[in-house]
Structure 1
Amino acid sequence: MKKFIITLFLGFSAMLQAQNTLSGLVTNAANKPLPGVTVSISELNKGTTTDENGKYSFSNLPNRNLKVNFSLIGYGTQNLTVNGRTKDTALNSILEETIFEMDEVIVSTAFNKIQSQNVMKVEHETIKNLQRKGTATLIEGLATIPGVSQVSTGTSIGKPVIRGLSGNRVLVYSQGVRIENQQFGDEHGLGLNDAGIESVEVIKGPASLLYGSDALGGVLYFNPEKFANANTFKANFSQKYFSNTAGSNTSLGLKTSTDSWKFMTRGSYNTHSDYQITDGDRVTNTRYNETDFKTGIGYNNSKFSTVLRYNYNKLDLGIPEDGVAEQSNSKKTMFPKQGIFNHLLSLNSVIYLRNSKLDLDLGYIANDRSEFEDSDQAALRMKLKTFNYNVKYHFPAMGKIETIAGVQGMHQTNKNSGEEYLIPDATTNDFGVFGTVNYEWNSNVLQAGLRFDNRSIVTDAQGISGEAGSFEAIDESFRSFNASAGYKTNLTDDFTLRLNVASGFRAPNLAELTSNGVHEGTNRYEVGNSNLKTEQNLQTDLNLEYKNSHFEFFVNGFYNHVNNFIYTSPTGAIIDDNLVFNYIQDNAQLYGGEIGLHLHPHPLDWLHFETSFQTVTAKKQSGNSGSNYLPLIPANNWDNTIRTEFKIKNWLEQGYATVNISNTFNQKNVSEFETISDSYTLVNLGFGGTMKIGKTIFDVTINGNNLLDKRYIAHLSRLKNDGIPNIGRNVVLGVNFDF
């Protein structure tokens, strides 16, 4: 497979073509040139900035229509389409001042529209903004986005939850390919580091039309760091210190580009001691260490664009078992612990044809997960190897109608080499075919699509039948048809409505089909069910947005009905002092949404007030055993932030200060295996900006999280059953240098 990728990459590189150029002038509404405007063509991985006269230029462009994005802090984003069939093309842009965030191009949806043109409401957040909140990990930052939460184990392990659905029901994409790392287990995290990631897009709802199985609950789509602008060299160094865990996060990146070639590399190291709770005690063995390396090389000419990326991630995670026991500032993990190695290789290419184009995404992921109980000999070791592909053909446009058809697939093998087995050796194959159409007229957009998928799972028999750790061989296929339809319109110039109806599906995972033993962290003996059916859902989403120069308001509502929802239920039997649970199915319903506003009063241009509220309720339809509520449903949350922006003479630019008050309500709607969680309020402060000392320019951030040192236990904490609180006060200091 590696030889194939290298041959394909070099073969494309040899196809040199004649150059086409694009240039222009960017001005403000008063017709004054704007320097420093970022001009980008995302599908070519090309970018530049306007000079002191507001001018920019690109060369070596394909002979087809291209979307060009213009953005500058303090101005509204503009997304223009240019016809690239002439050798020298001029495209000018006029940007208008605005106080709200830029209108970003959404990559995770099929047609790559900017958010204001997109049928689906997709949450877009830059990693820079998430890091300004002082969170220690990527998943902590994601959990600050309305509608997103996390199932956590201390500060080191977090699994995303989107509107109450988690695990295999949320699909994660990085470098354009789906991440596969044994998502069925909640005792390990994403295996992704935020260094080298530009932004994240969150699809809250079924996205099976574009992504197939496991996108039943939603998608997290991570966009990698952009390459350097043409004919430039950039270096970046960042350092963070975390007071609570005596933690450190160090990252160094280098990147350079010519008109056609691009290269980048970044290395990061993250290390933390056990976290402290409010009385000063540390939660034993919540320490962890992470090494991350990313690199990429890209090439484009007038006929194609291609990018080859590689990501290596190594995690050394302590597993907390004894709660508050041995007190230490050491960062060396104790037993029991986990060692996880992730290798992600991706090739993303676009081939330009006469009036159409072909997108080709290939990915290879090797996930090696080991657990060490009391020695360096792994008691559990699973090797998951996944090859996936995604091919999309963009048909020639017919007026205002755009059409895409594609095929996706995956070949995956799981092999065990430790003494213990959680799941059997298995081979999984996916194949899907889909088509989607986008029709845009005036301020209206209509989008619809159909898809068919087939997943086959074949497992090997293991152990002695009937004994713990044994598995019966299975050979199953799961098929599903799915559809989606969406409509977006501007009710007025400032008021937007979006309505989407989509179905999704998820095939049962290996743990649900084959489990036969004690599940880690739950103290339950779980028995799989090879007769489980595919989960199938239908969700309706409504989004209303109002935005003018000084006020922004949104309402998101959803209703999600899931047929054959898979969960565990007690049998009453006991094996080895553990209650026995079977995997069963029932229909379920989830409903709720998010509401928020952003106020920027005139003439107080330096003041922002943002508030949001999120809620989700999730029930089993029959409720025939104990509580009829589903487990691991996040509590309601009300989040409020006051942000000021300022400048201090000549030494602090783009300065900001924030006060955040996050109110989490009690969670009384719990399953029969959960306990009610109390409410709590956290106070967080932030300060930062771009500092200039002599000729040295750097960004600085200072955050105080849980500043009042509140003692609390989050409902989705896996340490809740042991009465272990979440992290106490944490002061985070960060600096970032760009050279």
Structure 2
Amino acid sequence: MKILLTLIFLLPQLTFAQLSTLNGIVRGATHQPVPFASVAVVGTTLGAVADAAGHYELTGVPAGAVRLRASAVGFAPIEQRAEVTAGQPQTVDFLLQAAAADLGEVVVTGVSRATEIRRSPVPIATLSRREISLNANTNVIDAAVRGIPGLSAVTTGPNVSKPFIRGLGYNRVLTLYNGLRQEGQQWGDEHGVEVDGYDIERVEVVKGPASLLYGSDAVAGVVNLLPALPSGPEGRLRGEALNEYQSANGLVGNSLGLNYQKSGFQTSFRASHRLARDYRNSLDGAVYNTGFRELTLTGMAGVSKVWGSSHWYLTLYDNRQEIPDGSRDSLSRRFTRQVAESGLDDVKSRPLVSDDELNSYAIGPLHQRIRHYRVFTRTQLHLSGGELHLLLGAQQNTREEFNHPTAPGQPGLALRLTTYTYDVRYHLPDWQGLQISLGSNGMGQLNRHQNATDFPIPDYNLLDAGGFLLLKKPLGKLELSGGLRYDTRLVTWNDFHLAPNPATGFVGAAGPGAVGAELPFPAFRQRYQGVSASVGASYVASAQLTLRANLARGYRAPNIPETGSNGLDPGAHIVYLGNRDFRPEFSWQQDVGVLWHQTTLDASVEVFHNYVQNFIYQGRLLNEAGQPVVIVPGNTTYQFQQSAARLFGLEATLNWRPAALPWLALNNSVAFVNGQNADAKLLERQGESARYLPLIPPLRARSEVRATLPSGQGRLTGTYFRATVDGSARQNHFYALDNTETATAGYALLGLGAGTTLATAGGRPVVQLIVQVDNVFDTAYQAHLNRLKYFEYYAAAPNGRSGIYNPGRNVAVKMLVPF
């Protein structure tokens, strides 16, 4: 390890020569320039984005034979080989053919090496920054949900979205930031993803067990959020300024990004700030306590040379997020606010929220503050025909929930999670066409309560490690892949006592001898282990048709709340009780896919079946009389349970670009998942109300018509108009036991958008403008995975409505100024 670290720090000083510059123009089939196309050196981190005139420039390209790849939205990617001579600039032009989708894209998430999407046996989907920017999003997960079928999100207000893949979420979906695990109390309902959405260049989603590469918590899949690397002319500071406004919650977003590269050295910096007040809809008006204020800083420095690359990242995230609870006046349905502590609080006597408060950008006294800091390095070394990839990272997440109206400065929940992560992989040189990759990854965690009064989980320590072996063998049109992995996780905590704290008047952490001390969390030590495996194949039956199939066994260790919970989560208004005897989850998932790809038409159908052993879920706790148990007044009580589960469904896409109308694109997708309890004894005991799993999204479909005007001789380029329809069917298959969930009505939302780029006479972009209107008809609706749907204090309301509704019509304007 000492030798390896020495190489990492010394090699950046070597081989400054043997580099060259490539430039050229990317054109379409009509020989018109393709603005903002991407050009990259395959197998490296070198890349550039063309300007509005289609011109690109790649610097720091190593001498020798390289493979170049050009791609753009609406075009099929193309690869060309070039022989690079050291110190001699060269010109390489590209001619792209129109295509409705990009099935030829290369991905790295969920596979051992760079792989085309269509050749991956495991279903993988991507979303580019351009597609993200076309929508009005309050966070990057919402953006990904719009563009990737099979991906959904459980939401708590506009800025808290937890990714779900094919009906599974929380600690079953692993979220990565540039390959680094996102660790931030993701077990909680109201805990979102702490990432700057303005900085994300690309989203890659693995739909299915990815435990083989990532271990526990990837049993349902992976969402990898990838930031951009510097691009553009060498020795010149480049950047962009972004401004955004959204009408539904008055969101004001500003972001400034800078990047620079020269002689292989690369650096970038971005600062983003977003501010929003309470969002609105036609039924609720302004929804009290749904505003937020968010600041993010991101910095990177690194080198990219002939020997490989090494990049260092530092991110700082600070978010003040209000906490809605849904309390209202029973007759007027106007929102009210809590002014007394829970023991003295009378919901029916709470004062009304004033119009000034509802329209204010000020953060209310009841809110949560999340601070997340990351520092990590990604290094890639070329070693004798093989490649070594190393990731080392440290991150700290501090989460405070201020829920005491009489003591607004006293946090209820106050947790500090520190995580150290490593990931090392070695790709051996190809041997008779066989590609072999092996590696290990894991993490160490310390989670500690700070100055808190609420203790839903104990302080704990966690050690996690695993090793894997992956194989891939191309056999002409057939490509086989598979692998094996072993994981182990050790979870420990000591006796954790609580006692009244006279200084604060609340309960606090205490020693065993403190007056009134209780022991809600007795000492615990448990080791979990599991084996993951995968085998799959893809077959290119013709230039247009690809078939693929995969069988995978996923593994997930129970998380801390599932085993150790014994307290109130004030943000969720739920008392959680864990089970110390839980066993790990194991899933067997089968995937079968049919992909059709040609110049004017792309179509795909992906079918899956997933059987989960020891599936962990929340069930409402009942007493012997069958009545709900109430431990904390005004809060429901749930206990984690374990049984078998079965999920099945499909995703399908149909994208068409008429040959006679190359400026027109029609994109369609549909996703369906059904999740059922597979434990016959449990169904016999609890009845049909327990047949379906909780938090299963309804049938969803999305259609888009987009017209992109040909680039002419004027100053405007990339001008487009679009119309979208997002539809969700009625969800009648829900977890109905104890009224945990209810049926959700279907709805359809119309969206309209347009955008253009103003360029100089020489083709350099000056400003990009995007206008998007979502929910054009201001439809009142509740998404099935919207937790605010269940924030209701009364059995009946004068208007016949229950819970809080999703945002209404939203007009968004974005302006991007590159320089």
TM-score by length of 2: 0.84
Distance 2:249 2:21 in 1: 51
Matching residue of 2:396? 366
Mapped contact 1:79–1:114 kept (Cα < 8 A): no
Shift of 1:275: 0.3
Structure 1 residues 476, 660: CA separation in 2 closer, same or farther (over 3 Å shift)? Answer: same
* Equivalent AA in structure 2 for residue 370 of structure 1: E
Shift of 1:8: 7.6
Q: Per-residue displacement from partner, 1:398-438 (whole Å, max 9, x unpaired)? A: 13221110011101110101122121111111111001011
* Equivalent AA in structure 2 for residue 607 of structure 1: L
Mapping 1:554-573, distance limit 5 Å = 554-573=604-623
Shift of 1:527: 1.7
Mapping 1:109-258, distance limit 5 Å = 109-144=111-146, 145-231=148-234, 232-258=236-262
Matching residue of 2:346? none
Matching residue of 2:769? 700
Structure 1 residues 509, 128: CA separation in 2 closer, same or farther (over 3 Å shift)? Answer: same
* Equivalent AA in structure 2 for residue 665 of structure 1: A
Distance 2:96 2:418 in 1: 49
**Of 303, 306, 309, which residue of structure 2 is paired with 1:299?**
303
Structure 1 residues 566, 80: CA separation in 2 closer, same or farther (over 3 Å shift)? Answer: farther
Aligned residue for 1:143, secondary structure, equals helix
Shift of 1:687: 0.7
The count of corresponding residues between Structure 1 and Structure 2 is 737
Structure 1 residues 50, 576: CA separation in 2 closer, same or farther (over 3 Å shift)? Answer: closer
1:431 partnered with 2:465: yes
1:516 partnered with 2:566: yes
* Equivalent AA in structure 2 for residue 358 of structure 1: L
Shift of 1:611: 1.6
* Equivalent AA in structure 1 for residue 415 of structure 2: M
1:496 partnered with 2:546: yes
Matching residue of 2:485? 451
Shift of 1:187: 1.0
Distance 1:122 1:565 in 2: 24
Structure 1 residues 364, 88: CA separation in 2 closer, same or farther (over 3 Å shift)? Answer: same
Larger-gyration structure (1/2)? 2
Matching residue of 1:634? 697
Aligned residue for 1:305, secondary structure, equals strand
* Equivalent AA in structure 1 for residue 669 of structure 2: S
Mapping 1:1-12, distance limit 5 Å = 10-12=9-11
Aligned residue for 2:198, secondary structure, equals coil
Shift of 1:95: 3.4
Q: Per-residue displacement from partner, 1:198-233 (whole Å, max 9, x unpaired)? A: 010010110000110000011001111121235132
Instruction: Among all aligned residue pairs of Structure 1 and Structure 2, give the percentage whose two residues are the same amino acid.
Output: 28
Mapping 1:30-429, distance limit 5 Å = 38-41=38-41, 43-48=43-48, 59=60, 61=62, 67-72=67-72, 75-79=75-79, 95-102=95-102, 103-108=104-109, 109-144=111-146, 145-231=148-234, 232-279=236-283, 281-323=285-327, 324-325=334-335, 326=353, 327=355, 328-373=358-403, 374=405, 375-417=408-450, 418-429=452-463
1:619 partnered with 2:682: no
**Of 687, 692, 710, which residue of structure 1 is paired with 2:779?**
710
Shift of 1:133: 1.6
Structure 1 residues 49, 716: CA separation in 2 closer, same or farther (over 3 Å shift)? Answer: closer
Distance 1:678 1:49 in 2: 44
Segment drifting more, 181-190 vs 50-59: 50-59
Distance 1:124 1:617 in 2: 24
Mapped contact 2:412–2:454 kept (Cα < 8 A): yes
* Equivalent AA in structure 1 for residue 475 of structure 2: W
Q: Per-residue displacement from partner, 1:147-196 (whole Å, max 9, x unpaired)? A: 11111111121111111001000000102211100111011211112111
Distance 1:524 1:59 in 2: 55
Matching residue of 2:18? 19
Aligned residue for 1:463, secondary structure, equals strand
Matching residue of 2:807? 727
Aligned residue for 1:195, secondary structure, equals helix
**Of 662, 665, 670, which residue of structure 2 is paired with 1:605?**
662
Segment drifting more, 533-542 vs 687-696: 687-696
Shift of 1:303: 2.1
- Structure 2: gaps spanning 5 or more residues: 328-333, 336-352, 499-511, 624-628, 793-802
Structure 1 residues 301, 676: CA separation in 2 closer, same or farther (over 3 Å shift)? Answer: same
Mapped contact 1:617–1:633 kept (Cα < 8 A): yes
* Equivalent AA in structure 2 for residue 593 of structure 1: L
Distance 1:503 1:314 in 2: 38
Distance 2:113 2:79 in 1: 13
Shift of 1:654: 1.2
Mapped contact 2:67–2:81 kept (Cα < 8 A): yes
Shift of 1:713: 0.9
Segment drifting more, 441-450 vs 669-678: 441-450
Distance 1:364 1:24 in 2: 38
Aligned residue for 1:719, secondary structure, equals helix
Q: Per-residue displacement from partner, 1:567-613 (whole Å, max 9, x unpaired)? A: 12344232244554332210100000111211222312222222211
Distance 2:694 2:73 in 1: 42
Shift of 1:91: 9.9
Segment drifting more, 508-517 vs 225-234: 225-234
Distance 1:93 1:409 in 2: 43
Distance 2:465 2:26 in 1: 49
Distance 2:706 2:529 in 1: 49
**Of 744, 752, 755, which residue of structure 2 is paired with 1:688?**
755
Segment drifting more, 621-630 vs 91-100: 91-100
Aligned residue for 1:470, secondary structure, equals strand
Aligned residue for 2:197, secondary structure, equals coil
Shift of 1:516: 0.9
Distance 2:69 2:298 in 1: 26
Mapped contact 1:176–1:346 kept (Cα < 8 A): no
Structure 1 residues 651, 229: CA separation in 2 closer, same or farther (over 3 Å shift)? Answer: closer
Matching residue of 2:343? none
Distance 1:137 1:600 in 2: 30
Q: Per-residue displacement from partner, 1:431-476 (whole Å, max 9, x unpaired)? A: 1100101112333211111100001101122126999882111111
Matching residue of 2:816? 736
Distance 1:389 1:95 in 2: 41
Mapped contact 1:641–1:658 kept (Cα < 8 A): yes
Shift of 1:711: 0.5
Aligned residue for 2:212, secondary structure, equals helix
* Equivalent AA in structure 2 for residue 674 of structure 1: E
Aligned residue for 2:497, secondary structure, equals coil
* Equivalent AA in structure 2 for residue 207 of structure 1: A
Shift of 1:10: 4.0
Mapped contact 2:20–2:63 kept (Cα < 8 A): no
1:645 partnered with 2:645: no
Structure 1 residues 178, 696: CA separation in 2 closer, same or farther (over 3 Å shift)? Answer: closer
Distance 2:759 2:4 in 1: 45
TM-score by length of 1: 0.93
Aligned residue for 2:132, secondary structure, equals helix
Distance 1:265 1:645 in 2: 32
* Equivalent AA in structure 2 for residue 712 of structure 1: Y
Aligned residue for 1:378, secondary structure, equals coil
1:526 partnered with 2:576: yes
Shift of 1:117: 3.7
Aligned residue for 2:811, secondary structure, equals strand
* Equivalent AA in structure 2 for residue 266 of structure 1: R
Mapped contact 2:99–2:601 kept (Cα < 8 A): no
Mapped contact 1:421–1:469 kept (Cα < 8 A): no
Aligned residue for 2:808, secondary structure, equals coil
Matching residue of 2:331? none
Segment drifting more, 558-567 vs 574-583: 574-583
Aligned residue for 2:553, secondary structure, equals strand
Distance 1:645 1:49 in 2: 19
Aligned-pair Cα RMSD in Å: 3.0
Mapped contact 1:18–1:60 kept (Cα < 8 A): no
Distance 1:206 1:641 in 2: 30
